[in-house]
Structure 1
Amino acid sequence: MEDVKIIKFSNCCLLRDHTIVKEDLWIRRGKILNPQTLFFSEKKAPDEIIDCWGALISPGFIDLQINGGFGTDFTHEKENVEQGVTVVAKGVVAHGVTAFLPTIVSSSPETYSTILPKLRKRMGGEEGAAVLGVHLEGPFISPLKKGAHDEKVLQSFPNGYETLKETYGRMHNVALLTLAPEIPNALDVITRVKKDYQKLIISIGHTNADMDTGLKAIECGASFITHLFNCMNLFHHRDPGLLGLVATVTDKPLTFGLIPDGLHTHPASIRIAHRVKPEGCVIVTDAISALGLPEGTHHLGVNKIDVRDGAAYISGTETLCGSIRPFNHCVKLFKTSTGCSLVEALEAGSLHPAKTLNIQKHKGTLNFGADADFILLNDNLDVIQTWVGGKCAYKNSAIEDHTFKYSVNFENSNNSYEDIFEKRVIRGSKTVYFNLNPEHIP
């Protein structure tokens, strides 16, 4: 049955239109409402009021690159990948993530044929974050910049676009595709993919390309850079590499992923990227199966990884292979590294990834009519609650839950009303359940 209850969040600040404002947030049927329209057109009052005790409400975070978490790896556990996605979707809401792209690292055609049909888009809700599609990271990447990817499964494009189709099969569930543009026939492949899958985003990554090749890829339709600075050529004054694209491309959309986990990217590097193009910064976790788990040995694709001292390495080496830092912690580190405003840090994790996928009208924003995907944060950017599709998917268990009675007088015309009703303090917010007729509520 459709939930038509109107919920009003009061005593809060909202991140809206690039500004933090003190306003109430109204939701119904999984969407954000315009209270003026509600009042003048429908003469409706809220069915429930949640007093947020001064919390900040931000659009929910969107993670465009996450390989797994909480003991599951989307690539390695291909037979049970649907269950794995469910586990991760439920786990990441504690980090403020309301939507994500399950990421599949370089694999064999047989693996893609098994996994891709199972990774369908999902609506989020009480059960966890939404799935916006799949991020295919490889296998069309440079062996010289493979990072933790298995070199045995890497491919080129001997038959151009046909090779890509033979490798992946149907791509209707794919939202983001990372490839190396210097591979022969790659530029033609980008053009063909954008023609056949207009909503699919092409990203440049794991690449040995110079700046000129990167520019050609942008001209062909690429619009994202996968984890800037990682697994690509270093900056040089005569060839700035892909970092040069950040400062050069102004006439076409271009955003870039950053992993501000304290390990993958030096704070000064993050600061440079932000100073050059703050509106292009997209926070990603690149999280692996060990996210949310203790130190030990886990899997990333076919590789074993060691988690030690707060970092993840290919087993027996010092090669980083993904992050175990929760998303909201990455937002904190991004803010600290760049010295940016709170608004910029939050938008780098919400609005910017939504713009990357061209879904900013209904995700990554608190504008009227957008999906009711949002988070309540305290001053330390700790997640108090996470709401997905207008449903509460996470409540911080570190804050007490108790109930008490509350007496209030209402006045309407010449009549006074008094009622006793329950006020519940739920882990950092107060929920008021009204027993009065809505027309008596001021």
Structure 2
Amino acid sequence: MCENSKLYKFANCRILRDHKIILEDLWVRNGVFVNPEKLFFDEKKPADVIIDCKNRVIAPGFIEIQINGGFGYDFSFETKTEEGLAIVSKKLLEHGITAFCPTVVTSPEQIYHKVLPKLKFRQGGKHGATILGAHVEGPFINKEKKGAHPPTCILSFEKGIEQLEKTYGSLDSVRIVTLAPELGNSAEVIQSLKQRNIVVSLGHSIADLSQSEEAVFHGANVVTHLFNAMLPFHHRDPGLVGLLASDKLCDTHPIYFGLIPDGIHTHPAAMRIAYRIHPDGIRFLKLHILSSSKCVC
């Protein structure tokens, strides 16, 4: 019998169903969940393998789409990139993260050229989480909201999408780009990235709500670390934060957002507000396990 065709029964496990954690067995075959009722009545087949979970929780793996490094490694440095990926990938898997986007912050052009080719898609397994491709956070951001990004490396879209190709060297390994939508030629860039199936996230920006909505209409659909590195919420113009309640986007232009839920970058009350306003939009929480290294330009 093929190993993959075996019927597995995960017994004594807790699973999430209807917003509750319940005690229930889980049946799997060929990597797919199987309905135990059909097994009993139609196949009358017992499990080939029974795994006692001893009351542990079985849950879907987390996907981390913005992690700048960790465990002593920084993805924005050209040295020990492969070693860092191997360590971070393995450590993340230990914490329930099954896939991630290694993130490179605003850096000199030569860093992108050397690092990004090493961050291409790689299937994970027991030795580590899947690498989905790179998230490049910058350098096409607003200097007024640079945060820890080095200002001397920040660029604009002078030549549109060609500027990105020149800066990054190639877009082959890139899966997410964080940019400031108020920059000139941003509409063209966002549309070009979307055509290449690259996710556009908005952040490190002073965009008003109108500029933010326009970016979403052109293909952007994520906000990078909501509340941080953007204009604070204002009742006359809520800026990027206002996307969560925009009546112009509706269901045709879904918007998602990330948060840094450490209680420092984002107050718990602010997180609750974001969740209550747009609960379907929260899709990732940025891990705060970054290396202490800084980019030097």
Instruction: Work out the CA distance in 2 between the residues paired with 1:177 and 1:37.
Output: 45
Q: 1:51 to 1:168 in 2, by over 3 A?
A: same
Instruction: Work out the CA distance in 2 between the residues paired with 1:302 and 1:238.
Output: 38
CA offset at residue 53 of structure 1?
Answer: 3.0
CA offset at residue 50 of structure 1?
Answer: 2.0
- The reply to whether residue 259 of structure 1 matches residue 295 of structure 2 is no
Q: What is the match of residue 166 of structure 1?
A: 166
Q: 1:55 to 1:234 in 2, by over 3 A?
A: same
Q: 1:32 to 1:129 in 2, by over 3 A?
A: farther
Amino acid at match of 1:216: E
CA offset at residue 205 of structure 1?
Answer: 0.5
Instruction: Work out the CA distance in 2 between the residues paired with 1:40 and 1:74.
Output: 52
Match of 1:208 among 206, 209, 216: 206
- 8 Å CA contact 1:260–1:283 kept in 2: the answer is no
Instruction: Work out the CA distance in 2 between the residues paired with 1:225 and 1:284.
Output: 12
Instruction: Work out the CA distance in 2 between the residues paired with 1:204 and 1:184.
Output: 14
Amino acid at match of 1:123: Q
Amino acid at match of 1:170: S
Q: What is the match of residue 62 of structure 2?
A: 61
The superposition leaves residues 183-225 of structure 1 with CA deviations (integer Å, 9 ceiling, x where unpaired) of 1111111012112x13x21100110111110000000000000
Q: 1:266 to 1:33 in 2, by over 3 A?
A: same
CA offset at residue 41 of structure 1?
Answer: 7.2
Q: What is the match of residue 124 of structure 1?
A: 124
- 8 Å CA contact 1:161–1:192 kept in 2: the answer is yes
Equivalence map 1:123-162=2 (5 Å): 123-162=123-162
Instruction: Work out the CA distance in 2 between the residues paired with 1:160 and 1:28.
Output: 48
Secondary structure class of the residue paired with 1:242: helix
* Greater Rg by CA: 1
Q: What is the match of residue 229 of structure 2?
A: 231
- Between 1 and 2, higher relative CO (CA 8 Å, sep ≥ 6) is seen in 1
The superposition leaves residues 104-135 of structure 1 with CA deviations (integer Å, 9 ceiling, x where unpaired) of 11112211111111112122221021112211
Q: 1:111 to 1:41 in 2, by over 3 A?
A: farther
- List gaps (5 residues or longer) in structure 1: 291-297, 304-442
Amino acid at match of 1:155: L
Amino acid at match of 1:299: S
- The reply to whether residue 176 of structure 1 matches residue 170 of structure 2 is no
- 8 Å CA contact 2:261–2:271 kept in 1: the answer is yes
Instruction: Work out the CA distance in 1 between the residues paired with 2:286 and 2:268.
Output: 15
- 8 Å CA contact 1:73–1:288 kept in 2: the answer is no
Structure (1/2) with the larger helix percentage: 2
Q: 1:221 to 1:299 in 2, by over 3 A?
A: same
- 8 Å CA contact 1:157–1:185 kept in 2: the answer is yes
Q: How much identity, in percent, do the aligned residues show?
A: 49
Q: 1:85 to 1:29 in 2, by over 3 A?
A: farther
- 8 Å CA contact 1:3–1:28 kept in 2: the answer is no
Amino acid at match of 2:176: L
- 8 Å CA contact 1:67–1:286 kept in 2: the answer is no
CA offset at residue 48 of structure 1?
Answer: 2.4
Instruction: Work out the CA distance in 2 between the residues paired with 1:30 and 1:174.
Output: 28
Instruction: Work out the CA distance in 2 between the residues paired with 1:225 and 1:34.
Output: 37
Q: 1:17 to 1:253 in 2, by over 3 A?
A: farther
Secondary structure class of the residue paired with 2:16: strand
Secondary structure class of the residue paired with 1:215: helix
The Cα RMSD (Å) is 2.2
Structure (1/2) with the larger strand percentage: 1
Q: What is the match of residue 79 of structure 2?
A: 79
Q: Normalised by the size of structure 1, how large is the TM-score?
A: 0.62
Q: What is the match of residue 218 of structure 2?
A: 220
- 8 Å CA contact 2:141–2:204 kept in 1: the answer is yes
- List gaps (5 residues or longer) in structure 2: none
- The reply to whether residue 108 of structure 1 matches residue 108 of structure 2 is yes
Instruction: Work out the CA distance in 1 between the residues paired with 2:39 and 2:73.
Output: 44
The superposition leaves residues 365-409 of structure 1 with CA deviations (integer Å, 9 ceiling, x where unpaired) of xxxxxxxxxxxxxxxxxxxxxxxxxxxxxxxxxxxxxxxxxxxxx
Instruction: Work out the CA distance in 1 between the residues paired with 2:192 and 2:284.
Output: 28
CA offset at residue 94 of structure 1?
Answer: 2.8
The superposition leaves residues 323-378 of structure 1 with CA deviations (integer Å, 9 ceiling, x where unpaired) of xxxxxxxxxxxxxxxxxxxxxxxxxxxxxxxxxxxxxxxxxxxxxxxxxxxxxxxx
The superposition leaves residues 31-62 of structure 1 with CA deviations (integer Å, 9 ceiling, x where unpaired) of 44444566677664323222223333221111
Residue correspondences, number: 292
